[in-house]
Amino acid sequence: MLKQLRAEHNRLGFALQLCCLRYLGFFPEELQLPEAVINYVAQQLQLIPELLVFYGQRSSTQREHQRKSKHY
Protein backbone atom coordinates (compact mmCIF):
# COMPACT_ATOMS: atom_id res chain seq x y z
CA MET A 1 0.00 0.00 0.00
CA LEU A 2 2.88 2.39 0.75
CA LYS A 3 4.25 1.99 -2.75
CA GLN A 4 0.97 3.33 -4.15
CA LEU A 5 1.69 6.71 -2.56
CA ARG A 6 3.65 8.89 -4.95
CA ALA A 7 5.23 11.40 -2.62
CA GLU A 8 7.91 10.30 -0.16
CA HIS A 9 6.52 12.47 2.64
CA ASN A 10 3.15 10.75 2.26
CA ARG A 11 4.78 7.31 2.46
CA LEU A 12 6.53 8.31 5.68
CA GLY A 13 3.42 9.88 7.19
CA PHE A 14 1.21 6.94 6.29
CA ALA A 15 3.74 4.46 7.71
CA LEU A 16 3.80 6.42 10.97
CA GLN A 17 -0.02 6.43 11.04
CA LEU A 18 0.02 2.63 10.69
CA CYS A 19 2.57 2.28 13.49
CA CYS A 20 0.59 4.53 15.80
CA LEU A 21 -2.60 2.61 15.26
CA ARG A 22 -0.89 -0.73 15.73
CA TYR A 23 1.18 0.08 18.80
CA LEU A 24 -0.74 2.91 20.47
CA GLY A 25 -4.26 2.08 19.36
CA PHE A 26 -4.96 5.65 18.24
CA PHE A 27 -3.69 8.41 15.96
CA PRO A 28 -1.84 11.18 17.83
CA GLU A 29 -2.60 14.71 16.72
CA GLU A 30 -0.24 16.03 14.07
CA LEU A 31 1.97 12.94 14.47
CA GLN A 32 3.67 14.31 17.56
CA LEU A 33 6.00 11.36 18.08
CA PRO A 34 9.42 10.89 19.62
CA GLU A 35 12.20 11.75 17.20
CA ALA A 36 13.65 8.25 17.62
CA VAL A 37 10.43 6.69 16.30
CA ILE A 38 10.30 8.99 13.29
CA ASN A 39 13.98 8.34 12.56
CA TYR A 40 13.55 4.57 12.84
CA VAL A 41 10.56 4.40 10.50
CA ALA A 42 12.21 6.76 8.03
CA GLN A 43 15.34 4.61 8.05
CA GLN A 44 13.30 1.47 7.41
CA LEU A 45 11.75 3.15 4.37
CA GLN A 46 15.08 4.62 3.27
CA LEU A 47 13.69 8.15 3.56
CA ILE A 48 14.90 11.21 5.40
CA PRO A 49 12.93 12.08 8.56
CA GLU A 50 12.76 15.77 7.64
CA LEU A 51 10.20 14.89 4.95
CA LEU A 52 7.58 14.63 7.67
CA VAL A 53 7.20 18.43 7.79
CA PHE A 54 5.52 18.22 4.38
CA TYR A 55 3.06 15.49 5.38
CA GLY A 56 -0.57 16.50 5.51
CA GLN A 57 -0.28 19.76 3.61
CA ARG A 58 -3.77 19.00 2.39
CA SER A 59 -6.01 18.70 5.42
CA SER A 60 -7.77 15.69 3.95
CA THR A 61 -4.55 13.68 3.50
CA GLN A 62 -4.16 12.62 7.13
CA ARG A 63 -7.87 11.84 7.47
CA GLU A 64 -7.77 9.74 4.29
CA HIS A 65 -4.69 7.87 5.49
CA GLN A 66 -6.29 7.27 8.90
CA ARG A 67 -9.34 5.81 7.21
CA LYS A 68 -7.17 3.53 5.06
CA SER A 69 -5.08 2.52 8.09
CA LYS A 70 -8.15 1.27 9.92
CA HIS A 71 -8.95 -1.07 7.03
CA TYR A 72 -5.37 -2.19 6.41
> What is the residue extent of each domain of the chain?
2-70
Q: Supply the pLDDT for residue 1.
A: 60
The phi-psi region of residue 53 (left if phi > 0; otherwise alpha if psi is between -120 and 50; otherwise beta) is alpha
**This prediction's pTM:** 0.83
Q: Higher pLDDT residue, 58 or 12?
A: 12
pLDDT tens figures, 10-51? 999 989 999 998 888 888 877 889 999 999 999 999 999 999
